């Protein structure tokens, strides 16, 4: 507290906007309380050296990132007919590497960022599942193939009727149906 107030006192009066170091410090403390959840300040960083409750945030962030990667990979593999050669190793490295990177980064930033990533990962999983359920690429592809086959058959039938109509016309018979 004393160090913070000393640094604030080093500021010019214009920079402090006429507030004393005590007023600034009290304002900082009131803002700090706004970022407290269940008595846990989300402005603090989890420490590698000190195990505490804040460790849950990076761990959950890493786990939800891994879960999000796994769900995304599941739907991507289901969509592709066969895996492209050499992509399996690259995909697995990304699936493991990115959550580990997320885990590392959340240890270096305030806990609030980790909470944001946890929520973001959970929303991404939910979004992926819902969209793949609503717009399943395999179902859409199957429906498109059925529609294409129907159009192809209709076109072939139309060509056949047109050829018959021309043949009838050349033989001098009147067309049927109009």
Residues 6+ apart with CB under 8 A from 122: 64, 68
Instruction: Give 126-178 pLDDT, tens digit per residue.
Output: 999 999 888 877 788 888 999 999 999 999 999 999 988 888 888 876 555 54
- Taking each helix axis from N to C end, the angle separating 2-10 and 21-34, rounded to the nearest 10 degrees, works out to 120
> What pTM, to 2 d.p., does this model score?
0.61
> What count of Cα atoms within 13 Å lies in the side-chain half-sphere of residue 165?
10
| In contact, 21 and 29? CB cutoff 8 Å | no
Look-up of token digits 């796994």: 70
Instruction: Give 71-105 pLDDT, tens digit per residue.
Output: 988 888 766 655 555 555 667 777 888 888 888 88
Q: Point out which residues pair with 36 in neighbouring strands.
A: 41
Look-up of token digits 């529609």: 147
């Amino acid at each position: 507290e004393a160090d913070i107030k000393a640094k604030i006192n080093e500021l010019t009066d214009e920079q402090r906007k006429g507030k004393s170091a005590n007023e600034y410090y009290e304002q900082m403390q009131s803002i700090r309380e706004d970022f407290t959840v269940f008595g846990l300040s989300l402005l603090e960083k989890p420490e590698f050296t000190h195990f505490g409750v804040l460790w849950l945030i990076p761990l959950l962030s890493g786990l939800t990132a891994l879960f999000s990667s796994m769900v995304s990979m599941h739907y991507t593999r289901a969509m592709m007919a066969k895996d492209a050669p050499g992509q399996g190793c690259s995909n697995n490295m990304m699936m493991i590497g990115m959550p580990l990177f997320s885990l590392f980064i959340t240890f270096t930033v305030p806990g609030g960022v980790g909470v944001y990533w946890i929520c973001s990962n959970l929303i991404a999983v939910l979004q992926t599942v819902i969209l793949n359920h609503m717009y399943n690429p395999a179902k859409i592809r199957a429906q498109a193939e059925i529609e294409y086959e129907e159009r192809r058959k209709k076109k072939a039938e139309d060509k056949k009727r047109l050829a018959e109509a021309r043949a009838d016309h050349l033989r001098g018979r009147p067309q049927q149906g109009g």
